[in-house]
Amino acid sequence: MAVRLAFLIYFLGVTFAYPAAAVSVSCLKCHRPHYETIDSCTGCHAGDARTVRKEIAHLNLVPGRLVRYRIKGDPSADSGGKLLETFACRRCHKIDGKGNSLAPDLDRLGARHPSRVLESILRPVTYMPDFSFDPETASLLANAVVKTAAVSRHERREAPLIIRFNHSTQHNDNVFEKHCGGCHRLLTESGALGKGNSGPNLSGLMGRYYPKTYAKMELWDQQRLAKWLKNPRASRPLSRMQPVIIDKRDFNHLLLILDASNPRYLPPNSVKSRKISSMRS
């Protein structure tokens, strides 16, 4: 009895001292332990450590390449963060409290399964630019997004959720649809515009988060846009874009549409939208 009592005390002591041992015994039958000081097997990779049946144990498993941000000194999240800047993700998304509100706030993805984040990068939804990332690059981006969401402490009032519906009817009375939509697409806080893919996505064009693609790596503004529309090749000699004939009234309306900070402007467009209050989970 004394021996069994001593063994029980020892086992409980080890279990409470090393929580990973309590939930990872079945994992260690197949997998070599690694990074034990960070968390338990399921703490990093999810899954179910209570069974040895692979189909159940690996249900909703998080691959190691998507949790590398938790390893101190691993460059994945930093590399992904640089890619977030390179591809100007903040022109549509808020990341670490900074960015436009044209698409979901990525700081709110802390509870989302990293594999779903990766999937949304590899297979973007309608009106999100398709960057055609390879799996390795997409994994770096996912690490950066999930890490930022996990550590974000920004307290902001929740904005209404925007639901966008595709609609086949063309509305050429919209300035963007009339002059730009054949080649470009655009997200606004009131809906999505344009059907073309031959030109770059113009979401957030007039803001500081859009790539510096004007002339000599400069941000876009009203004067530069006017000059560009008048004669694109004056700023970029090899541009394939033709001059756009637009009067002052339509140009001013176009500026309102392109201004990501101007949610009050509701353009009639080919993608109807409505706003509903979202609920916290």
Would you state the pLDDT for residue 110?
A: 82
For residue 164, count other CB atoms closer than 10 A to its CB.
Answer: 17
Query: Please, what CATH class does the domain formed by 161-276 belong to?
Result: mainly alpha
Cα separation, 141 vs 118, in Å, equals: 8
Fold exhibited by the domain 69-151: Cytochrome Bc1 Complex; Chain D, domain 2 (1.10.760)
What DSSP character marks residue 131?
-
Unique residue bearing structure tokens 């001292």 = 17
Whether 161-276 and 69-151 are alike in CATH topology: the answer is yes
Cα separation, 38 vs 145, in Å, equals: 20
Domain boundaries, the chain: 15-61, 69-151, 161-276
Would you state the pLDDT for residue 15?
A: 47
Would you state the pLDDT for residue 165?
A: 52
Unique residue bearing structure tokens 């022109």 = 91
Would you state the pLDDT for residue 230?
A: 97
Q: How many helices (H) and strands (E) does the chain have?
A: 11, 4
If the chain, 281 residues long, is cut into consecutive pieces of 10 residues, what is the mean pLDDT of each piece? 56 48 69 88 88 89 92 92 95 93 89 92 91 95 92 58 53 84 90 91 94 92 96 93 95 92 51 37 32
Would you state the pLDDT for residue 16?
A: 46
pTM: 0.75
Listed as own residue / partner, the contacts of 163-166 with beta carbons closer than 8 Å and 24 or more positions apart are 163/273, 163/274, 163/275, 163/276, 164/126, 164/127, 164/191, 164/192, 164/271, 164/272, 164/273, 165/271, 165/272, 165/273, 165/274, 166/126, 166/271
Would you state the pLDDT for residue 272?
A: 42
